Chains A and B, each alone.
Chain A
Amino acid sequence: MTEDLHQLAAEAEATLHAAKDSAALEAWRVRYFGRKGVLSDVMARLSTISREERPAYGKAANEFRQTLDAAFAARQEVLRQAELAEALAAEGVDVTLPGRPVSLGRMHPSHRTLREIYAIFAEMGFQVYDAPDVETDENNFQLLNMPPGHPARDMWDTFYTTTPGVILRTHTSPGQIRVMRQYCPEPIRVILPGMCYRYEQVTARSEMMFHQVEALAVGHNITMADLKGVVISFARKMYGEGRKVRFRCSHFPFTEPSAEVDMDCIICGGQGCRVCKYTGWLEIMGCGMVHPVVLRNGGYDPDVYSGFAFGMGVERPAMLKYRINDIRYFFANDARFLEQFV
């Protein structure tokens, strides 16, 4: 009898192996574990067996059931794995197909550049101060030591409004007067960013509207050496460590002494190229010690206070940095240009 069970178990395992999918597995389960299945038969036979043989048969029957259970569980797991593998295999994709597009916005290059400038000056204790675009002739020129008819006014081609004495600021320098009058007699360390306007034909090299950033420091003990330190520090943070910077005597009516600052050309490294007009130098800003008349106009006694100021463009540095060859791109807002900025 027990031999029969061994043979039955061998048969069961063979048919179980033949079950290749969950339907076959289920048929097998019904055949062996079902109510009228093989196992049921085997167990039922126990009652028909003689008392002497019953313990041995009972043990063999139990083993038979355990064998079937284990074999079934193992087979079930194998098939489950196989089915999962098959399902996953069907999930494969071409990973080189593009992902679902996300709408991207980008910052305007002038704003990017302004932010860099803000950050560099914030480290040196300079705060940002706002001044208006539409200015008085008085603030833009007169209080900056350029009375009407002053020859230096020719340095700025001015847009006049139909209101006498009201112009579009030609530079951010009138903000110097405003900030001094607001904070006098406190020491001052500010930058004044803003839009400036010049009556200039718009070409690849010149715009009628552009950003400038002015810096102003006023205190009891501000020197031209500090001016040099701040400017050099700025230039190296903005354009890279190791940049060469030179100060060349120049003239602005609102600073004395005045200087223009040149940096070795970042295009050619000072060898001479079209961008630096073969001089090896690029002009990056105008600067100087605040003129005593301007300090006085701002409310500060020039015998007690001193200060420095400088002004620089924003689009020009951006042009250098991103190798932009036409300044008109900045305010044309062509998507094909703006979308290039990461």
Chain B
Amino acid sequence: MKVPISWLKEYVNITVPIPALAERMTLAGLEVSGIDYIGVEPPTGAGQAAKGKSQRVPWDRERIWVGQILEVRPHPNADRLTLATVEFGHGAPLTVVTGAPNIRPGEKGQKVPFAQVGAKLIDGHYDDGRLLTLKAGKIRGVASEGMVCSEKELGLSDDHEGILILPDDAPVSVPLADYLGDVVLEVEITPNMARCMSIIGIAREVAALTGQKLRLAEPAMQAAGAPIAGQVAIEIPDSDLCNRYSATLIRGVTIGPSPFWLRHRLRLAGMRPISNVVDVTNYVMWEWGQPLHAFDYDKLAERAGGRAPIIIIRRARAGEKMTTLDGVARDLTTDMLLITDTAGPIAVAGVMGGAETEVTEQTRNILLESANFHNINNRRTSQALRLPSEASQRFGRGVPAGMTIPAATRATELMRVLASGVIAQGYADAYPVPQETSVVEITPGQVERILGMKVSAERITAILESLEFRVEKVAPEVLRCTVPWQRLDVSIAADLIEEVARVIGYDQIPTTLFDDTLPPQRRNLDLEAEERIRDILIGCGLQDTIAYSLVGQDTNHRLLAALNDPDSGYTAPGVIPCLLPPAACIRLANPLTPEHDTMRTSLAPSALMILRDNLRFRDRIAQFEIGRVYWPRENQLLPDEPRHLCLVLTGPRESLSWHGGSGEMTDFYDLKGIVEALLSRLGIADARFAATTHPAFGPRVARLTINGVDAGILGELHPQVRAAFDLPAQRVSLAEFALAPFLAAFNRPQTVTPLSAFPAVREDLAFIVDEGVTAEKVLAVMRAAGGDLLRAVELFDLYRGAPIPAGRKSLAYRLTYQADDRTLSADAVERLRNRIVKRVQQELGAELRG
């Protein structure tokens, strides 16, 4: 909301410098986000908000004046130029050459802004706001000793059609900056401060904050016309949406442009002047916060068949339509409130007027509406019709019903003065649901309990009274506060406490650090474990990533690209990776883009997209994400949001370096190694990898089970899935796990085994087994046979090829034997070895390799 200080000053004395005022307002909840200095110099040092924003030029107080044209003569050498002699009170009148079409030879007496040589102005010939310094010179052979200025040259508007003609009472010889200079505050209004979407509302706050009195007289109008009664009637069938509708009638107006002061103010406030009647409605809305609407009364009378129009405020009927004054035919719904007459809709209440009854240049008689509409209904209607406006911004946040008459009176009187109308006596005023008066009690104890600061009953009373609350002391420490009618935001004691706090200033509240019981301290083990896992994986050389939770709805489909019928591969929640069909996912009703319209059910697709993007810059990628997936639950409104872990590896095992390296690419076993490291660091002993199949993966794929619970899947991606994600033809290893099974083991007590004092015996054994015999099986048999004395088994070689027969493979192990209580004798070792070899041979059809 733009607030010209000159306008504000009509209602309150400004006793502090503008930057200090802005700061005070900001701290009290009226954030001043910008200060625009119009023609006047910003103060130095303070007012930082003004810097960088304002491109305006201060009007030189020594060179730019209010002048008066004494004479206008034709230019001897140019038809389109004239010579204007201007009196400006600081030396003899000077003559300037001007091309302005709005002063013509023979005219005189106009008040104009006059700039002397040396003044800095905006160059009217350009649109980039560049400045020029006025020089003496000859234009077509005639000396020009200054300039009469357009609005554009002064930085007031883009109007460069003619020079700015000032009001007749403008004081000649006064610096223009003193006469027309202003400061405009840009104030951000929070929803609870709706009352401050008006000059008077802000003036009331400024008065309370600076210890001044609001200067506000009850508006009055000179009504000389016939009484309004009988000329219009008002009916409100839907009084739940309109609790008051007031109207006045002004006859015989002349529609024309508004005077300079009004147009100037509207422009400073950011509005566009249109015509005197419309400008007055906007002006009074800005001043009072009450939106107004002017109807062409004769059109209403015509629609009523010549009888007195009846204004009916009701909801739209099914299928009802109307054309609003922007020329658009609107389809109305039955929850929209309309202003109608006996012939149908004439306005969408508080949103936009109808085209048919709009005020035009021909309008003679005005019916002025000043009404009150239900804020939520109004907001919904303006949103549904996509018609945000200054009016609906105010109605949507709530306007007090007590405002209709003062605002109507102020506007009606202005129309009489500016459009020379005759006001019908009285008001048409239907007020079926009177505004309730709120009364709230408060004690200094409550204030202290919330603010942590003692404030006396007297101080509370003074603050609230400065904001026009009526305060009575009903018991020694109890203040009964009657909320002023213009405040719709105060209904409980907490609201009053905020009023007290913000007027005192939040900076006056002390700073403490709890004087209260410490709540039971609970560890968040899930979070701790997650962070631990993050640290371990980073330690393993993986990059931590965060992908969007939102993906495109075809995303899961791409992970099933290897299937003839990808749709057949969709799974249900609980399966990892969870690939739900689009319709089964959580989907947005209002996505920003189709790439982000579905909550992801698996981390894998987002990880692959990150991979694809980064392969443009890197050939080796190792990354992970710990994030949520979103699984709809049957018969529950909200989805399950389990945390998952996704790991991805691709590219060379070793980074490029002068040391050479193997040049080998990472594969399944690199990924598995990381997973094993993670399991080991988390102290998870019971973890099993089992071969599996999955359409997203090629043949190298396994499921991981932790403590008997399925944790997820790891493997090398299927080539067709790689292609579906635009990945190059190289191995991509990916794992997705649920985090929960990893967390179950976290923070378990851990014990250490004592070190044996007796020597260990190491020996190597190699077995030849069938391809189908897994390493896990061989290990299990050796462990079972070796018992406690077999302390460690390390597989150090896997060999296929001659002399090993096809279909068989050789596995070479280093075994460590050790006892805690004795040195193992050669005999004991031999017995142990024989037992192990025999069991492996018998149970797995193995052959000991010599």
Contact = CB atoms under 8 A, between A and B. Distances in A.
Interface of A: 97-98, 100-108, 110-111, 115, 118, 124-125, 127-130, 132-136, 148-152, 154-155, 159-163, 165-166, 168, 183, 186-189, 195, 197, 199-202, 208-209, 217, 219-226, 228-230, 232-233, 246-251, 253, 256-260, 271-272, 274, 277-280, 289, 291-292, 302, 306, 330-336, 338-339
B537 interface: yes
Contact of A106 (B544, B617, B618, B630): B544
B586 interface: yes
Contacts of A151: 191, 194, 375, 379, 396-398
B516 A230 contact: no
A105 B537 contact: yes
Given A133-B549, A331-B546, A335-B543, A223 B450 contact: yes
B541 A105 contact: yes
A225 B524 contact: no
Contacts of A277: 33, 49, 52
Q: Top 4 A-B pairs ranked by shortest CB distance?
A: A223-B452, A225-B452, A103-B541, A149-B376
A180 to B, nearest CB: 12
Nearest to A166: B637
B842 interface: no
27 contacts: A101-B654, A103-B541, A104-B541, A111-B534, A127-B523, A130-B527, A133-B628, A134-B639, A149-B380, A151-B194, A162-B589, A187-B516, A219-B516, A222-B516, A223-B449, A224-B451, A229-B511, A229-B514, A249-B506, A257-B451, A259-B506, A277-B49, A278-B50, A278-B53, A289-B497, A331-B546, A335-B543
A135 B641 CA distance: 11
Nearest to A154: B191
A291 B630 contact: no
B661 to A, nearest CB: 8
Contacts of B510: 225, 228
B492 interface: yes
B356 interface: no
Contact of B546 (A110, A150, A220): A110
A106 B538 contact: yes
B655 A228 contact: no
A209 B396 CA distance: 28
Given A209-B548, A225-B451, A248-B27, 13 more contacts: A98-B658, A124-B514, A133-B628, A134-B586, A161-B599, A221-B515, A225-B509, A226-B514, A228-B510, A246-B507, A256-B495, A257-B501, A278-B50
A118 B547 CA distance: 22
A278 B377 CA distance: 39
Contact of A100 (B538, B586, B657): B657
A186 B520 contact: yes
Contacts of A257: 450-451, 494, 497-498, 501-502, 506
B448 to A, nearest CB: 8
Interface string B574-599: 00000000000011111110001001
Interface residues of B, number: 102
B498 A333 contact: no
B501 A224 contact: yes
Interface in B516-546: 516-524, 526-527, 531, 534, 537-546
B630 A134 contact: yes
B521 A125 contact: yes
A134 B396 CA distance: 28
B614 A334 contact: yes
A209 B27 CA distance: 30
B618 A335 contact: yes
B562 to A, nearest CB: 25
Nearest to B448: A223
B537 A247 contact: no
A57 to B, nearest CB: 56
B664 to A, nearest CB: 14
B590 to A, nearest CB: 6
B450 A249 contact: no
A69 B305 CA distance: 144
Contacts of A279: 48-49
B28 interface: yes
Given A100-B659, A134-B599, A256 B494 contact: yes
B51 interface: yes
B192 interface: yes
Contacts of B250: none
Contacts of A221: 449, 515-516
B638 interface: yes
A103 B655 contact: yes
A222 B523 CA distance: 23
Contacts of B549: 133, 195, 197, 209
B519 A125 contact: yes
Contacts of B618: 335
B303 to A, nearest CB: 33
Contact of A338 (B501, B540, B545, B591): B545
B610 interface: yes
Nearest to B493: A292
B550 interface: yes
A155 B48 contact: no
Contacts of B547: 331, 333
B49 A249 contact: no
B31 interface: yes
Interface string B29-62: 1010100000000000000111111000000000
